[in-house]
Amino acid sequence: MKRVKDEKLLVAQLKDPDTQEQAFRNLMSLYKERLYWHIRKIVLSHDDADDVLQNTFIKVFKNIHSFKENSKLYSWMYRISTNEAITFINKKAAKQHVDISELQHKMVNNLQEDINYSGDEIQQLLQKAIFTLPQKQQLVFNMKYFDEMKYTEMSEILETSVGALKASYFHAVKKVEEFLKLH
Amino acid sequence: MKRKDLHTIAPKLSEISLKKTGFEIPKNYFKSIEDAVIAELKAENFLKKGTKEVFKTSENYFDFIEDIVIAKLKAEAIQNNKETTIPENYFQTIEDKVLAEIRTTPKVISLKSRFIKFAAPIAIAASLLLVFVLNKNSTTVTFDSLASSEIETWIDNGGMDIDALSIVSIYPDIELNNEIYSASLSDEEVLEYLNEEYLDEIIFEN
The interface pTM score, or ipTM, of the predicted complex is 0.78
- CA torsion A102→A104→A108→A114, rounded to 10°? 110
Write out pLDDT tens, residues A121-167.
Answer: 888 999 999 999 999 999 999 999 998 999 999 999 999 999 999 99
Q: Nearest Cβ partner of B16 from A17, A57, A122? A: A122
Confidence of residue B165 (pLDDT cuts 50, 70, 90): low
Helix, strand and coil percent figures for chain B, each rounded to 5: 65, 0, 35
pLDDT bin (cut points 50, 70, 90) of residue B148 is confident
pTM of the model: 0.58
Per-residue pLDDT, B32: 85
Cβ contact, residue pair A28, B33, below 8 Å: yes
Structural contact between residues A141 and A174, judged by C-beta atoms closer than 8 angstroms: no
**Contact assignment for B24 to A117 by CB distance below 8 Å:** yes
What's the pLDDT tens digit per position in B25-52?
888 888 888 888 989 888 888 776 654 4
Average pLDDT rounded to a whole number, residues B167-188? 60
Q: Identify the pLDDT of residue A36.
A: 94
Residue-wise pLDDT tens digits, B46-76 = 776 654 445 566 667 667 767 777 777 777 7
For chain A, say whether B10 makes contact (Cβ under 8 Å): yes
Percentage of residues of chain B with pLDDT beyond 90: 0
Cβ <8 Å between A173 and B26 = no
Q: Which percentage of chain A shows pLDDT scores above 90?
A: 70
* Cα angle for residues A74, A77, A82 (degrees, 5° grid): 125
Residue A157 vs residue B170, higher pLDDT: A157
CA distance A25 to chain B (A): 6
Judging contacts by C-beta atoms under 8 Å, the chain A residues touching residue B29 are 46, 50
pLDDT of B196 reads 62
CA B18, distance to chain mean position in Å, is 86
Query: What does the pLDDT average to over B151-178?
Result: 66
The DSSP code sequence of B150-197 is HHHHHIIIIIT---HHHHHHH-TT----HHHHH-PPPHHHHHHHHT-T
User: Distances from the Cα of B150 to the Cαs of A78, B153, B154, B159, in angstroms?
Assistant: 123, 5, 6, 12
- Any bridge partners for residue A117, and if so which? B23
Do the Cβ atoms of B37 and A58 come within 8 Å?
A: yes
**Are A119 and B26 an interchain contact pair (Cβ–Cβ within 8 Å)?**
no
For residues B139 and B148, give the distance between their C-alpha atoms in angstroms, rounded to a whole number: 19
**What angle separates helix A100-110 from helix A121-130, to the nearest 10 degrees?**
170
Predicted confidence band at B184 (pLDDT cuts at 50, 70, 90)? low
Partner-chain contact A119 B46, CB within 8 Å: no
Q: A175 with A129: CB under 8 angstroms?
A: yes
Q: How much is the average pLDDT of B132-146?
A: 60
A25, A116, A181 member nearest B12 (Cβ)? A181
- Those residues of chain A that have pLDDT short of 50 are none
d(CA A78, CA A60): 10
B34 and A17: CB-CB below 8 Å? no
pLDDT of residue B158 exceeding 50, the answer is: yes
Instruction: Report the gap between the CA of B25 and the closest CA in chain A (Å).
Output: 6
The answer to whether the CB atoms of B36 and A122 lie below 8 A apart is: no
**Amino acid B51: pLDDT:** 47
Q: What phi-psi label fits residue B196: left (phi over 0), alpha (psi between -120 and 50 degrees) or beta?
A: beta
* Distance from C-alpha of B188 to C-alpha of B195, rounded to nearest angstrom: 11
Q: What is the pLDDT of residue A163?
A: 96
pLDDT value of position B47: 75
Residue B18, amino acid: L
Q: Looking at residue A28, what is its pLDDT? A: 93
Mean pLDDT of B91-101: 71
Looking at the complex, report in whole angstroms how far the Cα of residue B26 sits from the nearest Cα belonging to chain A.
7
Nearest CA in chain A to B26: A116
Q: Which chain A residue lies closest to B13 (C-alpha atoms)?
A: A177
pLDDT at B71: 79
Question: How far is it, in rounded angstroms, from Cα A61 to Cα B102?
Answer: 75
Counted across chains A and B, CB pairs separated by less than 8 A come out at: 104
Mean pLDDT, chain B, as a whole number? 68
Question: Alpha-carbon distance A33 to A27, whole Å?
Answer: 11
Q: What is the pLDDT of residues B105-114, one digit of tens each?
A: 555 555 555 5
Q: Mean pLDDT, to the nearest integer, of B132-152? A: 64
